[in-house]
Amino acid sequence: MFTLDETNRPTLSAGGQIEQIGLSPKLVARDADGTVLLRRDWENNTSLDHAALLKELFDWGVDHLGDREVIAIGHRVVHGGTRFAAPCLIDAEVLHALDDLCSLAPLHQPHNLAGIRAVNAIAPDLPQIACFDTAFHHDRAAVATRFAIPRALHEQGIRRYGFHGLSYEYIARRLREIDPAMAEGRVIVAHLGNGASLCGIREGRSVDTTMGFTALDGLMMGTRSGAIDPGVILHFQTALGMSAAEVEDLLYKRSGLLGVSGISSDMRALAASNAVEAEEAIELFAWRAAREAGGLMSSLEGLDGLVFTAGIGENNAGIRTRICQRLAWTGLVLDEAANIRGEAIISAPESAVTVRIIRTDEERMIALHTIRVLG
């Protein structure tokens, strides 16, 4: 929740999450300093749906804002397909078009749209703005969007879209403010959280990214496999007799750091473990990230800067070290002391690649888009 000053600049008023919808819902809101303003737990309450929980949040938000008026709600929508290249005001026709994209992101898009419908029911006249995770990648060269499959399927939308766009857009914007020279160059942003991807950005625009048709592609993640030989999936189905639902569950929820370590999907837990399997999972995570970075360097035709962001990228010095060591052949020299301290610039002065840590802020990006669309 953001409030606007007289120049329409957003200031964070409260942030939080609603989690475990359909199981034991939890709602938490904190102020900008992290102090908890609201915490509600509904133990084993499976009947509270998106609409009921959003009503709780909305009523609290209105109360929290006091005499300030709610002027709009911005939503993160995972998929904008080929049509939505920029954030837009949601009307019935747009909502219908977004419904049609649910088959492209069945695990995320329906939940995004449920939130929009819930607000429609609570406050039908309130403007709602959709901000897409795919939009930042919309204008890449056609070659970066194609799979080598029959072209009719490409025309049907089976193509590489890319995700985490709001995070990449925020980082590109922030780079322009703090390091205009680097922002004009060839930069890889490593968004390393539970979901993880890399994006090659040149002059502030996405050139190539590791996620493709779905958010399953590319890097190894907390519970997702990342890119995998498609023949393995055929083998699961034909030789092992797995159903599509079982393959989906395996690749989205039981693979990645969790699958390889057998211990946890959480990088902190693996870093704290002495198990050989934890070390193997961490090493594979770093190896895959460096390998994909090498691919993006080819798309970018070189590299001037590397930015680490999201939970692991911002906080885990060990992972940053491993990835940077594997990229030493590019002339990248890490300043290990600065890295351990988590400073803004963690490369040595003589490094051919400037390495930065930048805290991502997708919510602020949504707020900025929402203000702009409202005009």
Binding site for ligand ADP (CB under 6 A): 193-195, 222, 266-268, 310-312, 315-316
| Burial of 154 from C-beta contacts in 10 A (0-12 / 13-18 / 19+) | middle
* DSSP class of 26: E
Report the residue number, 260 or 310, with the smaller CB distance to ligand ADP. Answer: 310
Q: Is 193 within any annotated ligand binding site?
A: yes
Q: By C-alpha distance, which of 241, 149, 134, 140 is closest to 197? A: 134
Q: Is 191 within any annotated ligand binding site?
A: yes
Q: Is 268 within any annotated ligand binding site?
A: yes
* DSSP class of 133: S
Active site residue 5: no
Q: Return the amino acid letter for 55.
A: K
* DSSP class of 121: H
Q: Is 313 within any annotated ligand binding site?
A: yes
Out of 31, 49, 133, 179, the active site residue is 133
> Cβ of residue 52: shortest distance to ligand ADP, in angstroms?
24
> Cβ of residue 35: shortest distance to ligand ADP, in angstroms?
18
Instruction: For residue 201, list its beta bridge partners.
Output: 187, 206
Report the residue number, 19 or 139, with the smaller CB distance to ligand ADP. Answer: 19
Q: Return the amino acid letter for 216.
A: L
Based on C-alpha coordinates, what's the Rg of the chain?
21
> Cβ of residue 183: shortest distance to ligand ADP, in angstroms?
23
Report the residue number, 219 or 296, with the smaller CB distance to ligand ADP. Answer: 219
Relative to beta strand 205-209, strand 196-202 is antiparallel
Three-class secondary structure of residue 75 per DSSP: strand
Report the residue number, 185 or 193, with the smaller CB distance to ligand ADP. Answer: 193
Q: Which residue is nearest to ligand ADP (CB)?
A: 311
Long-range contacts of 33-41 (CB under 8 A, 24+ apart): 37/64, 38/64
Q: Return the amino acid letter for 132.
A: F
Report the residue number, 162 or 222, with the smaller CB distance to ligand ADP. Answer: 222
Angstrom CA distances, 337 to 227, 242, 284, 347, stand at: 33, 48, 24, 10
For residues 181-196, b (16+ Cβ closer than 10 Å) or e, as one string? ebbebbbbbbbbbbbb
Q: Is 195 within any annotated ligand binding site?
A: yes
> Cβ of residue 272: shortest distance to ligand ADP, in angstroms?
10
* Residue labelled with tokens 């301290």: 341
Report the residue number, 57 or 215, with the smaller CB distance to ligand ADP. Answer: 215
- For CA atoms 96, 100, 104, 107, give the dihedral sign: positive
> Cβ of residue 278: shortest distance to ligand ADP, in angstroms?
12
Angstrom CA distances, 73 to 45, 60, 70, 89, 120, stand at: 26, 15, 8, 10, 10
> Cβ of residue 267: shortest distance to ligand ADP, in angstroms?
3
Inter-residue contact 70 to 61 (CB < 8 Å): yes
- Binding residue positions for ATP: 191-195, 266-268, 311-315
Catalytic residue positions, numbered: 133
Q: Residues marked as binding? A: 76, 191-195, 266-268, 311-315, 362
